[in-house]
Amino acid sequence: MRKIITGVAAAVVVAVGALWAFASVQPAAAIDPAFAGRQGDAVHGAYLARVGDCVACHTAKGGAPFAGGLPFDTPVGRIYSTNITSDREHGIGGYTFEQFVLAMRQGVRKDGARLYPAMPFTSYAKVSDADLRDLYAYFSTQVPASAQPNHASDAIWPLSIRWPLAYWSRAFHDDSRYVADTSKNVEWNRGAYLVQGLAHCGSCHTPRGVGFEEKDLSGKSDLYLSGSSLERTAPINLRSAAGGGLVNWSKEDIVASLKTGRNPHSSVSGPMGEVVEHSTQYLSDGDLGAIAVYLKSLGGSADSTPFHADDTTLKSVLAGQATGRGASIYIDSCAACHRQNGQGATRVFPSLVDNPMVTQANPDSLVAVILGGARLPSTASAPSPLAMPPFGWRYGDDDVAQLATFIRSSWGNKGAAVTADQVAKVRARVAAN
């Protein structure tokens, strides 16, 4: 028996050693020689950093820009974003261009350690050599150095071991650049390049699998950008689908949402508000239009049911016949701003009618706004301090569930009922933040 145990143990050690040895092989940067020695354009690099919204993830509350330390709760535990300033010890100031490319495209640090896929290198792999060169020029020459040390992850052993991530990449990572679709025009391809690449929209808006991988990275299926669940929020479906998608949004509506955070159909909330404030409001009109063209080209599922407005709810409210608990709370606490017809006031109070955040299958974002409130992003073209107050202190889980159910089933909306248990789970997350 002792010999058997010893033999098994030895076999396990050899197997683990072989797996470690394979995982430790560092991938190549795969850079076109024409760009290896080229001087980057730091001004354009600063614009690209806006497209990628790098500051949002790599800046902790109250911290120096790009100095890292922002916490992220992941399936393996809490991890922290890294310092990407020009500091040579704690940041990326000591990175060569080749090492920068490896981090961006392969998720491999200068020391060879693997980055968790919370870093969207699966999207950044599509970015061109020219754009990465400009990004490198910006971060290495224009971003002030910060000596803030990097925060070790809170993941427990063995989840804290990073070399197995090489096998995650082997299973889920496609290390190929964006290739233009010759059947589409220049504007469509520019939008696809931005959305699939630096803007990494799929990181939030595409559902993930059991390995935390995005189920589609390139729009090959209807899963791409079809909405997801993320830390008790529900990023909306960006496809032209009914029942929670953008089928009724025009190109101009999408541009307005990205530029100002609001349009006649909806307004952004939660993390998307920060995306608008820090990133998309700064994009050129041409790039915003290209993104909109690309998104409008993404169809919905075949069984989508078109939206039809319904005035039954309004009539019942006006007749004093809307007596359910959800209706009563809405009339008392919501109707003053969002109106009895649910349509709000354009660019001020968002409509709740055929609003993707309201009607989508996952109600978490709607519940989070009811509990914790929301604030419209303040942008150069639409400066605004307007905010919705939180109601979590005033109403219990069952009350909020009934209110959300009323909103999701009124004025033609067809959202499913919300339960008190669903509200309780979102409340725990809102309280934690």
Q: Does 278 show up as a binding residue in the annotation?
A: no
Cβ contacts of 165-171, under 8 Å, gap ≥ 24: 165/23, 165/107, 165/114, 165/115, 165/116, 165/117, 166/22, 166/23, 166/24, 166/25, 166/114, 167/19, 167/23, 168/117, 168/211, 168/213, 169/106, 169/107, 169/114, 171/211, 171/213
Name the residue among 135, 119, 126, 226 with its Cα closest to residue 176.
126
- Tell me how far apart the alpha carbons of residues 247 and 367 are, in angstroms, rounded to a whole number: 23
Q: Does 57 show up as a binding residue in the annotation?
A: yes
Q: Does 334 show up as a binding residue in the annotation?
A: yes
Q: Does 58 show up as a binding residue in the annotation?
A: yes
Contact 83, 66 (CB under 8 A): yes
Phi/psi for 57 (5° steps) reads: -85, -25
**Running DSSP on this structure, what letter comes out for residue 5?**
H
Q: Does 337 show up as a binding residue in the annotation?
A: yes
The tokens for 55 are 């500051």
- Tell me how far apart the alpha carbons of residues 205 and 202 are, in angstroms, rounded to a whole number: 5
- Tell me how far apart the alpha carbons of residues 224 and 159 are, in angstroms, rounded to a whole number: 28
- Tell me how far apart the alpha carbons of residues 353 and 222 are, in angstroms, rounded to a whole number: 24
Q: How many C-beta atoms lie closer than 10 Å to residue 431's C-beta? A: 10
- Tell me how far apart the alpha carbons of residues 415 and 428 are, in angstroms, rounded to a whole number: 23
Task: Tell me how far apart the 2 most distant CA atoms of the chain are, in Å.
Answer: 85
Close Cβ partners of 352 (under 8 Å, ≥ 6 residues apart): 338, 342, 343, 344, 358, 407, 410, 411, 413
Calculate ∠ Cα 223-226-230, nearest 5°. Answer: 110
Binding residues, as ranges, are 54, 57-58, 201, 204-205, 334, 337-338
Binding residues for heme c, as ranges, are 54, 57-58, 201, 204-205, 334, 337-338
